[in-house]
């Protein structure tokens, strides 16, 4: 009888601890969501970071962490957080966060981080899961356009080694070399600025909630 009572007490303690643990990380997550809604992204970041430590298996905490990092302009870290969320997702369409939304937001973080190639792949993943997502369609087209423009610019700037004899290159002085580099740099900056202006004009569509 005594052993049975001890066993029941043990089970009760375990259940209480489990309930407390579940409620604990969910409360932290809730606090982060409230801070995020108030645009207090520092507090949201801290709460979501804590939630990832308290429950290492859920895809929700790293996803929310990624959205907070994105809002803070820390795009490379946001990319890692969204990738972590993907790695913990079961792949089931009814699980939160929505799998297409993770790929979409991952694409946005990669886009803003300057990795257009990977952003394009992420948007394609999102569209495979949700072909009607007009935001993913828009951002995919924008990323592809910018990548083509960057590629064309890079080709235009490739040195034409065969255009002039090497003997002529030997006669270019240091001052002239500096001037050529400055001219090239200014031209490159103008092109980059134009790309950024086109990006702002087209408007990268931001993160999705789930």
Q: How confident is the model at residue 90 (pLDDT cuts 50, 70, 90)?
A: confident
Query: Measured on CA atoms in the order 49, 125, 208, 114, is the torsion positive or negative?
Result: positive
Q: How confident is the model at residue 199 (pLDDT cuts 50, 70, 90)?
A: very low
Environment class of 189 (CB within 10 Å of its CB; exposed 0-12, middle 13-18, buried 19+): exposed
Question: Has residue 10 got a pLDDT over 50?
Answer: no
Give the angle subtended at the CA of 191 by the CAs of 178 and 123, to the nearest 5°: 135
- Checking phi first, is residue 74 left (phi over 0); if not, alpha (psi -120 to 50) or beta? beta
- Checking phi first, is residue 203 left (phi over 0); if not, alpha (psi -120 to 50) or beta? left
Average pLDDT over residues 83-107: 90
Q: How confident is the model at residue 9 (pLDDT cuts 50, 70, 90)?
A: very low
Side-chain-side CA neighbours of residue 127 (13 Å): 15
Kindly list the structural domains of the chain, giving each domain's residue range(s) and its CATH number in brackets, ordered by start.
Answer: 87-156+178-210 (1.25.40)
Q: What percent of the chain has pLDDT over 70?
A: 63
Question: Has residue 189 got a pLDDT over 80?
Answer: no
Q: What is the pLDDT of residue 92?
A: 78
Q: What percent of the chain has pLDDT over 90?
A: 54
Interatomic CA distance for residues 134 and 86, integer angstroms? 22
Stronger pLDDT, 92 or 81, i.e. the higher one: 81
Q: What is the pLDDT of residue 62?
A: 96
What residues contact 47, with CB distance under 8 A and at least 6 apart? Answer: 28, 29, 31, 32, 35
Which tokens in the block code for residue 60? 């929700």
pTM above threshold 0.85: no
Q: How confident is the model at residue 41 (pLDDT cuts 50, 70, 90)?
A: very high
Question: Has residue 22 got a pLDDT over 50?
Answer: no
Phi, psi of 44 (to 5 degrees): -65, -45
Average pLDDT over residues 31-60: 94
């Amino acid at each position: 009888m005594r052993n049975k009572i001890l066993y029941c007490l043990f089970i009760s303690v375990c259940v209480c601890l489990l309930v407390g643990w579940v409620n604990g990380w969910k409360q932290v997550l809730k606090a982060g969501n409230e801070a995020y809604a108030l645009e207090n992204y520092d507090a949201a970041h801290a709460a979501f970071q804590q939630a990832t430590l308290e429950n290492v298996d859920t895809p929700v905490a790293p996803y929310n962490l990624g959205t907070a990092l994105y809002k803070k302009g820390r795009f490379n870290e946001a990319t890692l957080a969204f990738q972590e969320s993907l790695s913990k997702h079961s792949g089931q369409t009814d699980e939160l966060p929505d799998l297409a939304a993770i790929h979409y937001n991952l694409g946005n973080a990669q886009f803003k981080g300057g990795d257009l190639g990977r952003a394009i792949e992420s948007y394609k993943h999102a569209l495979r899961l949700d072909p009607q997502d007009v935001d993913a369609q828009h951002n995919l087209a924008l990323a592809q356009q910018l990548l083509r423009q960057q590629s064309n610019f890079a080709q235009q700037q490739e040195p034409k080694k065969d255009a002039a004899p090497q003997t002529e290159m030997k006669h270019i002085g240091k001052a002239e070399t500096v001037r050529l580099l400055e001219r090239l740099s200014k031209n490159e900056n103008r092109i980059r600025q134009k790309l950024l202006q086109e990006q702002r004009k087209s408007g990268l569509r931001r993160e999705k909630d789930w």
